[in-house]
Amino acid sequence: MRFDTIIVGSGLAGLSAALRLSKTQRVCLITKKSLSEGASYMAQGGIAAVLSEQDSIESHVQDTLVAGAGLCNEEVVRYVVERGREAIQWLIDLDVPFTMDPENGGHFHLTREGGHSARRIIHAADATGAAVQKTLMERVRAEKNITILENHMAIDLITGQKLGLKDNRCFGLYALDSDNNRVKSISAGNTILATGGAGKVYLYTTNPDTSTGDGVAIAWRAGCRVADMEFIQFHPTCLYHPKAKSFLISEALRGEGGILRLPDGTRFMPMHDEREELAPRDIVARAIDFEMKKRGIECVYLDMTHKTPEFLRTHFPNIYSRCLELGINISKEPIPVVPAAHYLCGGVMTDLSGRTDIPNLYAIGETASTGLHGANRLASNSLLECLVFSEAASKAILENPSLEGVELPLWDESRVTDADEEIVIHHNWSELRRFMWNYVGIVRTTKRLERAQNRISLLTEEIEEYYSNFRVSQDLLELRNLVLTAELIVRSAMLRRESRGLHYSRDYPERLAQTYDTVLKND
């Protein structure tokens, strides 16, 4: 199979790039499950951009820099923020149904979230991701130049080095067709990794099952550098309920006056930060973690009972109805919440056009480390990043005509057999996620990291032996990617001998005066 560009991932970054490139290129869009299954579709809050006269570019820049705890690349921050209005207008022109504000002359309603000094979050009620993704999916499915390969998982990139060439550009990739368990060779002049994050490396996460660090692992194995992998954002408020898997309680609730309380009703955020419930996510998540461990409680509570049922149903219809289904009337009782792994701030190193270390290979969205988020992502900057960098990468690809593709070797299965015991995969998956949660979570110590590193080393040996001897499956490929991503997270965390943003170490509780990115190179 030959195309002009392969895009791996069907979130906002992947779909946006596919639409922009398909006007003049033959695009192959690969997604592990269906187009709609990903973190972008699940996004509730909205997209941050300067859209109001009461706001300013400088204010959004400064809020991002403050949240990033001194580690943001200011050039990148300004690049993204300055393109916010244009990015939102592109979605508006595609007919994304953003929520209007009838009290403000028919303008779009803007909400506020933690870390923001102004109302600048444009949204579609409390299901922004679904509204945006549905709109883009309709356009992508209707575009004749886009070939969609659902239920396909990228295995590894095919580079010049692998082909024995001096030219080490990316020529395409191998992908597993999960429907019939066949591996395909797919050739293209350019390849874009837009596979999302790695939340499934942790026991508790707001991420979908597809978030297994695929793009980071694939790029690392091909020889790309990764940066700042220690900065895992834990969302402060994931619904705590035995029947609710990974259901996020949007930050917008705190933006609209939500109060965090202990089981006895005591408010605790004023004791942790002067910004109280509107402090950045890392501070709120650490405060909740502290209170839970100190008091031996299983969750805390987010109180919205001071708001009317009409207000809650209007502004948060999905959260209101989902909680009601589970027996929680949020207008009369507080919502039980816990922190959960939410967002990977580090990733594959790129420039302002999404280029990686390997020619003709790009990374965009959560997979990439652009320098925008620093040590902690500001709420709702992630979807903005997807839009801005999908446009930047598409422009770079269109302005630099790619070289002709080459005939790629077929996948070699001559020395493998069918797996004898799948239970090995599931056991290792469970063990990995549990010790990552216990040892590499919100609060870390050197001893905990060393324990995690030892476990990862043993798991890696087992998984590589399994991978070498048996035919690949999606579960095996995801586990292989997860254990590698976990290794990169732990290695990065051990190199950072300070506490900054999302990385908090009891052994190094102070923040160093000098700043540095944690860059890992696969020699």
* 108 DSSP 8-state letter: E
> How buried is residue 349: exposed, middle or buried, by Cβ count under 10 Å (0-12/13-18/19+)?
buried
> How buried is residue 311: exposed, middle or buried, by Cβ count under 10 Å (0-12/13-18/19+)?
middle
Structure tokens at 34: 């269906």
479 CB neighbour count, 10 Å cutoff? 24
DSSP line for 473-503? -HHHHHHHHHHHHHHHHHHHHHH--S-BTTB
Residues 282 and 114: beta-carbon distance below 8 Å: no
**Catalytic: which of 20, 83, 120, 281?**
281
d(CA 503, CA 282): 9
Strands across the sheet containing 368-369: 368-369, 347-349, 226-227, 519-520
Instruction: Give catalytic status of residue 85 as yes or no.
Output: no
Structure tokens at 137: 């999916």
Give the type of residue at 483.
V
d(CA 233, CA 280): 11
Strand 361-363 versus strand 182-193 pairing type = parallel
DSSP line for 221-268? HHT--EE-TT-EEEEEEEE--TT-SS-B--THHHHTT-EEE-TTS-B-
Give the type of residue at 294.
K
Q: Is 312 helix (H, G, I), strand (E, B) or coil?
A: helix
Structure tokens at 452: 């995690």
Count of residues for the chain? Answer: 523
111 strand-pairing partners = 121
**Main-chain dihedrals φ then ψ at residue 268, nearest 5 degrees:** -120, -20
Give the residue numbers annotated as catalytic, written as ranges: 281
